[in-house]
Structure 1
Amino acid sequence: MVVVDNGSTDDTAAVVARWTDRLPDLRVVRHEPRGINGARNAGARAANGELLVYCDADDVATTGWLAAMVRASSKADLIGGYLDFTPLNSERVRMARSANPPDRLPIIMGFLPYAVGASMGVRTEVFQALGGFDESYTGGGGDDVEFSIRAQLMGCSVVFAPGAVMRYRLRERLWSLARQQMGYGRADAKLLRDFREHGLRADGTTKALAHWLKLVWRAPAIASPDRGRWVCHFAWRLGRLLGSAEQRVWCP
């Protein structure tokens, strides 16, 4: 097991040290500068197995998560598990975020499925052939989607592992959730720039305008229990517009 300390400010190193007697192969890799994809790549370089399995520091793997990943690796090159929002998050926070489907992998813009980085497995040889995660994705989203698309364009197979359940921790504050969604929207534009020649397509202007009109029409009701979902959806759409300007594409 490899724990990547990417500039943590808590007692991560001390917690890991308390487990070394029970997990003799447990190692800590310190990586700078800060950035999730650089950290993931550093962890892969330090690992020595045939299968790389990723999870995030603030989530909780259920019993059987790793075993389900290993079983699924006999069927595919890239594996995505299920993210369960229920145990670690309040109802208020869960209502603000759309959950991933429980019976399949999510699909990006109707194009290809992808494995979420917080619960992902990939054969080491495939990871190396792809050159790891693209560290130019620094805006807080899109990196796992980009990795999954490249893998499939290279001919790799991807599969959903329903038994690989990760208890996923959402951001507690609405403003933090909204910033995350804005990052996802900006990443959509970067993905469109990188993969439009392969068939990735965003909503057309008419459909996007209809979504914006619906958002504006629902704005007076944002004091309702749907407020969080409205704010996150607005932030995601706004992120797409900002990303369109940054990447010089049209991803409304």
Structure 2
Amino acid sequence: MPPGDVVCSVVIPTYNAAHLIGQQLEALATQVDAPPFEVVVADNNSTDDLAAAAGAWADRLDLRVVDASRAQGVSVARNVGIEHARTDRILICDADDVVCPGWVAALVKALDTHTMAGGPVETARLSGASANWSPIDTQTTHLLTTWGNRPYTFGGNTALRREVFDAVGGYDENYPAGAEEIDFAWRAIDHGYTPVYVPDALVHYRIRTDLRGVLRQQYDSGRGTATLYAKFRPAEVVPKSVPRRLHHELLLLKGFPWRGTGDQRRSWLTVMAFEAGKLVEARRLGSPAP
């Protein structure tokens, strides 16, 4: 790490990732043309040997492990990590992903002229076959958008100025493990902060490599989508009536690819898991399902 004061802070929200975080820390330790930066590992009540796994990199990185165990959830860990950061330029990545060699440099440069930014993700390198089951493109080429074409950054590939975090009030800790980054981006946009796309800030994104894990991810994503709708009730989204909802779900059920490949059947299951999560959470919240 070059001498001098750090220019930015890399925050890594982490839960039980001792077996994976070394890959991400190695990627950060070998960044190209990066300014001096610190790494803040926000430990969200891990029960493995995370502290030792992260501490092993303290001779190659300006690294601290901070206690983020006051409540469970990725939003809690992100908020605590950002609160402990020593700079006003915050880069967020996940413990189980791997950033590209120019990730830090590209995002820091973007923050010279913008207040919030994000880059693409690639899913095949770390995920293998399960990359074909996920609705995420194997290589994204722009920021994703949601209702009303509002852009948002991937939670694990985000850069922001501290003023954005302070204005928004941090990540909403009431979300399930899904859509909390969309919620953050929407509130940032409402405060006048629109994220920009940085194509050189690539992250190799890890999808769960077992079907059960992928289905859980999609189920939680559906829950998060229902939470997002219940909170914002965007005017452009018209909830389906009961007959239309039943018709929609029946069409999905009829669409099972009996003659398709194994990957096609698993992809269908991920769609159904997302729908199930959305319906279950909407009912729990007493809100129409989007």
Same fold (TM over 0.5): yes
Amino acid at match of 2:124: T
Q: 5 Å matches for 1:25-64?
A: 25-32=62-69, 33-64=71-102
> Following TM superposition, by how much is the alpha carbon of 1:165 offset from its aligned partner in structure 2, in angstroms?
0.6
- Structure 1 Cα separation of the partners of residues 238 and 265 of structure 2: 26
1:230 aligns with 2:268: yes
Q: 5 Å matches for 1:94-133?
A: 94-100=131-137, 102-133=140-171
Helix, strand or coil for the counterpart of 2:57?
coil
Q: Deviations over 1:76-118 (max 9, x none)?
A: 2221211110111112x11110224622111123441111111
C-alpha contact 1:54 1:119 (8 A) present in aligned 2 = yes
Helix, strand or coil for the counterpart of 2:127?
coil
- Structure 2 Cα separation of the partners of residues 164 and 90 of structure 1: 21
C-alpha contact 1:111 1:201 (8 A) present in aligned 2 = no
1:85 aligns with 2:123: yes
Check 1:208–1:173 CA distance in 2 against 1; reply closer, same or farther (3 A cut). same
Amino acid at match of 2:182: V
1:189 aligns with 2:218: no
C-alpha contact 2:73 2:177 (8 A) present in aligned 1 = no
> Following TM superposition, by how much is the alpha carbon of 1:70 offset from its aligned partner in structure 2, in angstroms?
1.1
1:240 aligns with 2:278: yes
Aligned to 1:221: 258
Check 1:216–1:22 CA distance in 2 against 1; reply closer, same or farther (3 A cut). closer
TM-score (norm 2): 0.79
- Structure 2 Cα separation of the partners of residues 18 and 174 of structure 1: 32
- Structure 2 Cα separation of the partners of residues 162 and 210 of structure 1: 40
1:7 aligns with 2:76: no
Q: Deviations over 1:225-251 (max 9, x none)?
A: 211111100011111111221222222
Question: How many residues are treated as equivalent by the alignment?
Answer: 248
- Structure 2 Cα separation of the partners of residues 207 and 58 of structure 1: 39
Q: 5 Å matches for 1:156-175?
A: 156-175=193-212
144-153 or 235-244: bigger deviation = 235-244
Amino acid at match of 1:194: K
Q: CA RMSD in A?
A: 2.1
Give the gaps of 5 or more residues in structure 2: 1-38
